[in-house]
Amino acid sequence: MTSLEKHTGRPLVAPWLRGWIDDEPQTRIVWRRYLPVCDGTQVIDEKRKTDAKEFFEHAPPHLSETLDTESHRVLDWLTKRANAMLKAIPDAKQSDPVEAPDGRQSLQPNSVIAIILGRALEVLRILTLRELVFDTDDKTFNKRNKDALLRVLNNNTLILDQRFGGLSEEGLLNIGTKTLPSTADDPGAWIAVDQSKGSAQAPIPEFRVRESEDGARSIDADWETCFRFASRVSDEGEPTSFLVVDKWKHSASSEDSRSVSRTHQQLAVHRKDTEYEAERLASRLSLSGDHAKMLRIAARLHDEGKNCERWQNAFSAKREGRPYAKTIGPVKFTLLDGYRHEFGSLANVEADPEFQGLDPDLQDLCLHLVAAHHGFARPVIRTHGCEDSPPSALEQRARTVALRFARLQKRWGPWGLAWWESLLRAADQRASRAAETRQQENANG
């Protein structure tokens, strides 16, 4: 049930993994060079919050850049450090803004300095430097606002602009530290998440964030561009600068980015490749004839929901040769409108003559593998953007997906069902990698 984004009965995951421990609420702190805000000071509306969430889905907080400590300590340090910084800022009316050490403009009172993320990487709160200083004469007002901020910090993630500083060389919170620690050979690399050069070895983390005036795709053979965020816009509302997220060529930072490739891959080719990989896996695992057939059918039909104008347009598929299963992007999430292609694939699976010849139990398993091959449908999956049936029929299909999941968990057990799911996911990913390797070999002659 942890796939439910908003539900009063949604459980916390950590206690079930680590046990129920009576600890104080913790906050995870991450310093980043780039925050997904527009022009540094713009208040983020709901559309911007959605864009920021997608940014963090592609560039999520990585263990190597985090510090965890009690939330009340974070609040105390946060407000004292902000107060010290605010006092040090010269009057803008009497002095021009001072350039920061990394070439960027120094922080101002109305600069966005922090973003608080929830468990699903949703944006809970955006804070300017001034909002972190509680210095009004009304002590009751100050306490009420501090308590409200503490509640948001509890068990969530605080993303800070790296210019905020406040971290000692020993990795401890320090109010007086103006800059962050850096290594002698590569200053700031671990905190900026901005690897500018490729490497034959996978980096940690397997993504990078860079600034680009035109949002151009990466020309580095080791990196693939998967997301762009408009960080500056003109008076006419046109983007003039972007934050670009690139992912390491053999990783996917989000489920949607798995459909972004270095080249366009036609759906017919990917369908054939995945079916071949499924047959290969079934043979290696000595699956029975009927189960091997079921897995092969699921592999052949798992991406049929991509064969629609919405998905092709949202993933910037070129017109010639459509439909495609993989594109070079970029992904236009506004056009996608939350559409899940695996949900759209279900109607195609049910209409397939070979599928209809399966035993009803295997039909159930086949449909679930298709619906769940990107991690959804366990038990819920969105109906947004799907246009192959009326809304009432789509809602009924989604209910059937959830009930099917419950039936199959009872039939196979949670680990058994997860094992079946992993087979289709493995075949899908092996097919994608094989296609990229083939294209690279062709390019190299």
Q: Which two tokens stand for residue 369?
A: 């593998």
pLDDT at 264: 82
Long-range contacts of 351-358 (CB under 8 A, 24+ apart): 352/297, 352/301, 354/293, 354/297, 355/297, 355/301, 358/290, 358/293, 358/294, 358/297
Average pLDDT, integer, range 41-54: 71
Residues shown for the chain: 445
Closest CA to 302 of 263, 322, 265, 273: 273
CB 213 within 8 A of CB 241: yes
CB 326 within 8 A of CB 265: yes
CB 258 within 8 A of CB 252: yes
Tell me what percent of the residues of the chain surpass a pLDDT of 70.
82
**Through-space distance between the first and last CA atoms of the chain, rounded to whole angstroms:** 49
Average pLDDT, integer, range 262-266: 80
How far apart CA 127 and CA 88 sit, in angstroms, is 19
pLDDT tens digits, residue range 93-111?
434 444 454 555 677 888 8
pLDDT-based confidence at residue 373 (cuts at 50, 70, 90): very high
* CA-derived radius of gyration, the chain: 24
The residues of the chain that CATH labels 1.10.3210 are: 261-443
How far apart CA 8 and CA 223 sit, in angstroms, is 40
Burial class (CB in 10 A: 0-12, 13-18, 19+), 333: middle
How far apart CA 324 and CA 307 sit, in angstroms, is 8
How far apart CA 123 and CA 116 sit, in angstroms, is 6
pLDDT at 444: 67
Q: What are phi and psi of 116, to 5 degrees?
A: -100, 125
pLDDT at 61 over 70: yes
**406 SS3 class:** helix
pLDDT at 263 over 80: no
Q: Cβ–Cβ contacts within 10 Å for residue 137, how many?
A: 6
Q: Give the H/E segment covering residue 277.
A: helix 267-284
pLDDT at 330 over 90: no
Place of tokens 């997608």: 54
| CATH architecture label of 261-443 | Orthogonal Bundle (1.10)
**10 SS3 class:** coil
pLDDT at 441 over 60: yes
Average pLDDT, integer, range 254-272: 76
Q: What is the pTM for the complete model shown?
A: 0.63
Report the half-sphere exposure of 439 (CA within 13 A, side-chain side).
Answer: 16
